Structure 1
Amino acid sequence: MSTSDWQKSSYCAESSNCIQLAVTGPRVGIRESTEPGMIVTTTPARLRAFLDAVKTGALDAPRQA
């Protein structure tokens, strides 16, 4: 993946550390801006399922009484 393929959220300030995404064919690359050499890849469907789980709180730790 070339450097021009990576995109970051518009919510990320120019000097902030950000998560970046790049789509190459059937794969999505994910990296942190401070560690550009460390890339995790997945499929768009799996990334979508993960983001949906984060948004709904399905991955939150159970609350203790």
Structure 2
Amino acid sequence: LPSKGFDGKGNYNMGLKEQIVFPEINYDKIEKIRGMNITICTSAKNDIHGKALLEALGVPFRK
């Protein structure tokens, strides 16, 4: 994931263009492809601490 999704307060935002990236979704039952925005709210006070927290939890940021 790109590191540019932080909001300045330690929270991370990202968008998906298609919901079919989730293996639980049955492609044959989808009426329409939809995207979504995802926000991960953390208790971090800034982006540096937020990124460190998410990396410790296993979020794969680009180097």
Q: Same fold (TM over 0.5)?
A: no
Question: Which has a greater percent of strand?
Answer: 1
Larger RCO, structure (CA 8 Å, separation 6 or more): 2
TM-score by length of 2: 0.29
Which structure has the highest helix share of the two? 2
